[in-house]
Amino acid sequence: MKSYVVTGGAGFIGSALCYLLLSDTDAEVVVIDRMTYAANPVTLDRLKAHKGFRHVQADICDTAKMAEIIRLVQPDVVFHLAAETHVDRSIDGPAAFVTTNVVGTYSMLEASRDYWSVLDAEAADKFRFIHISTDEVFGSLGPEGYFNETTRYDPSSPYSASKAGSDHLARSWYRTYGMPVVISNCSNNYGPRQFPEKLIPLMILNALEEKPLPVYGTGTNVRDWLHVEDHARALRLMAERGVPGEVYCVGGGAERTNLEIVHEICRVLDARRPRNTPYKDLVEFVTDRPGHDFRYAIDASKINGQLNWSPAHDFTAGLEETIDWYLANENWWRPLREKQYRGERLGTRV
């Protein structure tokens, strides 16, 4: 039986990873999640239906508690995803980002080392700490070129700077202590169960509620979209065959401008939920995000060559499925829209 700790498993990517790990019916998956505004209890309720799934509500910054949980679970792998994740919120309030993303990552590394350092040689060799980070640590690309594992760190936002700090800590736990850490830097994820502050679910839900679709600046910023299930598969491969101390860049190979994404969502909704005029009419151009990176794009040839990973989802079909998921799962998002976040503009403070 394989045993996993997943931090942030009640969030978007963490829950997709839990579903993948639990597809092995023998697996034990223990989620550590504090249940911030970004976590959804409905996600947890659905995961709890699986034998082998457990949730511990705790803060990753509590190192003693983390060490206690890890000693009890005795995981083969710790997947570390818990983080504050929204760039706009990091502009309004950077403190939580430094606390959770930097101090919290330190805490998970230290708690894992506490467990790993007393394992016998064979178990210590097999243990993996998979640190989940972002391509945003590399800053912004111009119209040409790609990020890869050797790209210089150049973060623009408090969010990406805090993730960059966490990456440096993770790398140093490998170099200094020899703990088997693998780092993933991935591009923008999309798919089911994403909190509706992020571009794709925000646009879907605003459109369904006939609210304006706010596009930052001129909408020409480019992101490389990765389906969350493809990302989860990449993370599991890193745990199985990734080389300790190595970094893998993961991208979907699906570059789109923000405006193209919004128009595509409108096109699908025009077919699924027709209204009198096209949804495109709801688009409203608003002040740009301060420090808005122009373009992210990933060269995924390392993970493709070494771990034989490539994205399985076609972006157009994946986006349609995502829209259908939100249409079919109003009980998942309605309470969030009513109680947590109604779609108001965030992150305009300079």
Tell me if 323 contacts ligand NAD by CB under 6 A. Answer: no
Tell me if 34 contacts ligand NAD by CB under 6 A. Answer: yes
Rounded Cα–Cα distance for residues 183 and 16 (Å)? 18
Whether 135 sits among the annotated catalytic residues: the reply is yes
The stretch near ligand NAD (CB under 6 A) out of 58-66, 140-148, 295-303, 328-336 is 58-66
Cα 5–chain centre separation: 16
Tell me if 36 contacts ligand NAD by CB under 6 A. Answer: yes
Decide whether 187 or 279 has the Cβ nearer to ligand NAD. Answer: 187
Rounded Cα–Cα distance for residues 286 and 178 (Å)? 48
Place of tokens 């060799």: 125
> Which residues, other chains included, contact 257 with Cβ-Cβ below 8 Å and sequence gap of 6+?
219, 220, 221, 222
Tell me if 55 contacts ligand NAD by CB under 6 A. Answer: no
Tell me if 181 contacts ligand NAD by CB under 6 A. Answer: no
The per-residue DSSP string of 275-301 comes to -SS-GGGGEEEEPPPTT---B--B--H
Alpha-carbon Rg for the chain, nearest whole angstrom, is: 20
Tell me if 38 contacts ligand NAD by CB under 6 A. Answer: yes
Q: Which residue is nearest to ligand NAD (CB)?
A: 11
Decide whether 33 or 255 has the Cβ nearer to ligand NAD. Answer: 33
Question: Could you tell me where the beta strands, DSSP code E, fall in the chain?
Answer: 3-7, 28-32, 53-56, 77-80, 128-134, 181-186, 189-190, 213-216, 222-224, 226-227, 247-250, 255-257, 283-286
The stretch near ligand NAD (CB under 6 A) out of 78-86, 213-221, 238-246, 307-315 is 78-86
Catalytic residue of the set 4, 106, 159, 279: 159
Rounded Cα–Cα distance for residues 234 and 304 (Å)? 10
Tell me if 35 contacts ligand NAD by CB under 6 A. Answer: yes
Whether 19 sits among the annotated catalytic residues: the reply is no
Cα 243–chain centre separation: 21
Tell me if 33 contacts ligand NAD by CB under 6 A. Answer: yes
The stretch near ligand NAD (CB under 6 A) out of 3-11, 117-125, 239-247, 280-288 is 3-11
Tell me if 158 contacts ligand NAD by CB under 6 A. Answer: no
Tell me if 82 contacts ligand NAD by CB under 6 A. Answer: yes
- DSSP secondary-structure letter at 253? S
**Binds ligand NAD by CB under 6 A, chosen from 21, 109, 186, 204:** 186
Catalytically annotated residues: 135-136, 159
Task: Using CB under 6 A, list all residues that contact ligand NAD.
Answer: 8, 10-14, 32-36, 38-39, 59-61, 81-85, 100, 104, 132, 134, 163, 186, 188-189, 195
